[in-house]
Amino acid sequence: MKRPAKYLIFLMIFILLFAVTSCKKNAKAATLNIPYSCELTIKSDDEGSDTYKASLSRKENSWLVTYTSPESISGMTITYSDDNYKIKLNELEFDAKRDELPDSAISTMIISALDKSTLSTNVEYKTNKGLTIANGTIGDKDYELTFKDDIPQSLKISGYTVTFSNFKS
């Protein structure tokens, strides 16, 4: 009887050690020092869709997104400041309140995910291979924002993948 008891104790210790080492603590939230700027590459998961490129800059109370590609929207700027949006392309200009624009607009989703992931408590964080992964929601859309050393790397949201590059703070 002593031998099966030893095996049972050994098995219980092994299971306990496995359970303790497999549980990962929640990672801490990423922090982004404001002001910052970066380049964006935005790809839709839809086959054959355009790839969009833009620059993004964040100041204390404002955002500026300037699209550089594709040619059809090159030069379009979206400014968000004091709960107002201004969208400008050539001579066309449009002003709107934040709540008048759809949450599904890609620029709005990028801005919201960055702000929410670094300023909100309703985001789940985990670590994986040196990366911090923030999971949250924007409206009814789930997103996953990946950081390395508090620098955004990629965002997956609503059928889009956004890659961040040339990050400067």
All residues at 6 or more sequence positions from 16 whose CB lies less than 8 Å from its CB, including other chains: none
- pLDDT tens digits along 105-122: 899 899 999 999 887 778
Looking at the chain, the whole-number percentage of residues with pLDDT higher than 70 is 83
pLDDT digits (tens, 9 = 90+) for 43-60: 999 988 999 999 999 999
Q: How many CB atoms lie within 10 A of CB 147?
A: 23
Q: Which pLDDT score is estimated for 18?
A: 43
Mean pLDDT of 60-83: 94
Chain-centroid distance of CA 37 in Å reads 15
* pLDDT at residue 127, as a whole number: 94
Q: Phi and psi (nearest 5°) for 18?
A: -65, -45
Q: What are the structural domains, with CATH classification, of the chain?
A: 25-168 (2.50.20.10)
